[in-house]
Amino acid sequence: MARMEALAPQTAAGTEPAVVRLNRVAKTYRSGAIDVAALKGISLQIPSNRFSVVIGASGSGKTTLLNLIGCIDTPSSGTVEVCGQNIDELGDDSVSDFRARNIGFIFQTFSLIPVLSAYENVEYPLLLVGMPVAERRQRALAMLEAVGLAAQARQRPNQLSGGQRQRVAIARALVKGPQLVLADEPTANLDSATGASIIELMRRVQEQSRTTFIFATHDPQLMSHADEIFAIRDGELIDHRSGGTQ
């Protein structure tokens, strides 16, 4: 799979450094007059090039954890380091630029831009990193081809099935060659057969692109593919099972 040279991870099989380091990260939300602790001092490291899964019951803090790793939320205490960058040190625009270059997102509800075609949705992240038009076109089309949607390039999201939309979302997350892809319940809105094919696709592109995937999920199918499983409950890390590196 194509990847921008400048963004290529400096890793090798078996010696991958941690792409995510969380050190005593806590997150407290204010709900009316009550403080709600979503995460209670979690520390973890996620090596690169892994298919990692965060599991836990609803309200356990999975999504909060993913939001912090994805640099779209800030911890109440502790430090978050992603791709070797301490996120606390970055201002708002720098964090946006950091996300644009290094992190891809796949959402449960696909969250495609409804006024853009499949091709334009995939092209959009490349605009954010200022890629020239010819290279943008080549990459977006190659990515759509890779997820099997070259024929649907001109179709708008409302003309695609749920599985096709999630494929577009996967292409959009991977097109810029990020070091990290975060997916929050990516199969929750899909039937089991479509979900299985999406998991298969993500696993395949992960192996080809050597990108780190981190999922928050309840889906047993997805867990069966995981290299790393982090289990959290009530905002605390209660288990970590590690498979072999690729």
* Contact of 206 with 50, CB cutoff 8 Å: no
> Least distance to another protein from the beta carbon of 160, Å?
16
Residues 6+ apart with CB under 8 A from 103: 70, 71, 82, 178, 179, 180, 181, 182
Q: Which one of the spans 8-16, 123-131, 206-214, 234-242 is the region binding another protein (CB under 8 A)? A: 123-131
Give the H/E segment covering residue 241.
Answer: strand 236-242
Among the listed residues 28, 79, 111, 194, the single contact to another protein using CB under 8 A = 111
Shortest Cβ 244–another protein spacing (Å): 31
Query: Rounded to whole angstroms, how far apart are CA atoms 135 and 141?
Result: 10
Q: In the complex, what is the shortest distance from the CB of residue 169 to another protein, in angstroms, rounded to a whole number?
A: 10
Q: Please count the residues of this chain forming the interface with another protein, following the rule CB under 8 A.
A: 28
Q: Does residue 124 interact with another protein by CB under 8 A? A: yes
Using CA atoms in the order 46, 48, 49, 54, what is the torsion angle rounded to 10 degrees?
20
Q: Counting contacts by CB under 8 A, is residue 97 touching another protein?
A: yes
Q: Which amino acid is at 63?
A: T
Query: Is 57 among the residues that bind another protein (CB under 8 A)?
Result: no
Q: Which is nearer to another protein, 123 or 219 (CB)?
A: 123
**Smallest separation (angstroms) from another protein to the CB of 31:** 13
Sole window of 9-17, 76-84, 103-111, 212-220 interacting with another protein (rule: CB under 8 A): 103-111
Q: Does 125 bind another protein (CB under 8 A)?
A: yes
- Binding residue (CB under 8 A) for another protein from 4, 7, 90, 116: 116
The rounded distance, in Å, linking the Cα atoms of 208 and 12 is 14
Neighbour tally for 146: CB within 10 Å: 21
End-to-end CA gap in the chain: 16
Closest to another protein by CB, 115 vs 134, is 115
Site residues for another protein, window 68-87 (CB under 8 A)?
Answer: 70, 72-73
Of 131, 132, 141, the residue nearest 101 (C-alpha): 131
Stretch that binds another protein, among 1-9, 104-112, 204-212, 231-239 (CB under 8 A): 104-112
Task: Give the residue among 174, 119, 120 at the shortest CA–CA distance from 150.
Answer: 119
100 binds another protein (CB under 8 A): yes
Q: Are strands 236-242 and 228-233 parallel, antiparallel or unpaired?
A: antiparallel
- Residues near another protein (CB under 8 A) are 67, 70, 72-73, 92-93, 96-101, 103, 105, 107, 109, 111, 113-116, 120, 124-125, 127-129, 172
